[in-house]
Amino acid sequence: MNYESFFTILCIVFFSIFKTSAQEKIWFDANWNITTKKNAVYYRLVADHKSKKQQIIDYYISGKKAKEYFFVEGKENGKYAEFYNSGELRITGNFENGFREGIWKTYYKNGKIKEKGKYKVGEKVGVWKTFYKNN
């Protein structure tokens, strides 16, 4: 192995260790209250550095993604997605300044829409449609 290869591998290992140590896990129970690892249903990896816009990804204990959304200056802002423990999409929508806004959809595990409607400043508005599960 030449010097350059050794240096590259060393840099990769150092970066991996640094990146791993720069994150901590926050554990949540079934109601999204902070808890211990023993009682957790979900967890979140939290980076040491904070920025104005943060992507938040919450996971089931199994390691599969539970939720994905953005925080901007301490409030939910942007696209929101929630998933079943089996990996299928469960809910999609959008946040503006911490409130649900616009069209939100809930899905059955088979991918078909279960419910669809609109939010305005966090409140349901207009006609909401419920679709029955047809196998």
pLDDT digits over 32-44, tens only? 999 999 999 999 9
Cα–Cα separations (whole angstroms), residue 117 to 80, 94, 97, 112: 15, 12, 19, 15
Mean pLDDT (whole number) for 107-128: 95
pLDDT digits over 78-108, tens only? 999 999 999 999 999 999 999 999 999 999 9
pLDDT digits over 8-24, tens only? 444 454 444 444 445 78
Q: pLDDT at position 4, please? A: 52
Task: Provide the whole-model pTM.
Answer: 0.75
Mean pLDDT (whole number) for 62-88: 93
Structure tokens at 75: 């409030």
Name the residue ranges covered by the structural domains of the chain: 24-130
* Total count of residues recorded for the chain: 135
Q: pLDDT at position 15, please? A: 45
Structure tokens at 6: 């050794």
CA distance 48 to 101: 30
CA distance 12 to 108: 42
